Structure 1
């Protein structure tokens, strides 16, 4: 009896690349990292393991979460790799942006530093 391949065996890392590319091009990487549930769980697990010490296993491991946490770490490493590749190959251009203050009021005219466009090659300027 043959076991059907799972999605990762069929599609590989293409889902992560596609999702991270869309998030990056929309300028939402920081929001993604802030609001992604798995990132929050990993942060809590890391703080908990640091607080209890490396010799004691935390409550997450005693509840059998080690497989889930390892899968989340793997996904975070992949996402970080994709984002770093996108930043290296396609940095954002000089543009105006709007930030939000803690009070909720918009803060206009934030200017990002000028970087090489993704449409220009570094060799063209040499």
Structure 2
């Protein structure tokens, strides 16, 4: 049973695929839920990790899987209910704050917009996050 739970946990932590246009990454809106989904984007040989989650008000929130303080540890975040938790220091952030609050141990915001049935993230936004993953 423990092995099955570990396997399921590992599978759920794997990044999902996102389609990439020339200047943006597009993720189907239907894939965004109250459960954080983690993604990876290659930027010049550096893997930039980020996540999407639907806040209680229904808005889509996008942030790097890193913060301004703990990023050197490369541990990112995990979800506990309606909170994203820094795996390094244990600080908790309500999902309604994700992508709105910057600095400290908050998940670093990534600008995005919803266009029709897609969440659109400019690749330049992800490229700006390279420093957190080198």
- For Structure 1 versus Structure 2, the TM-score category normalised by the shorter chain is under 0.3
Higher RCO by CA contacts (8 Å cutoff, separation 6 or greater): 2
Structure number with the higher helix fraction is 1
Q: Which has the larger radius of gyration?
A: 1
Structure number with the higher strand fraction is 2
With normalisation by structure 2, the TM-score equals: 0.22
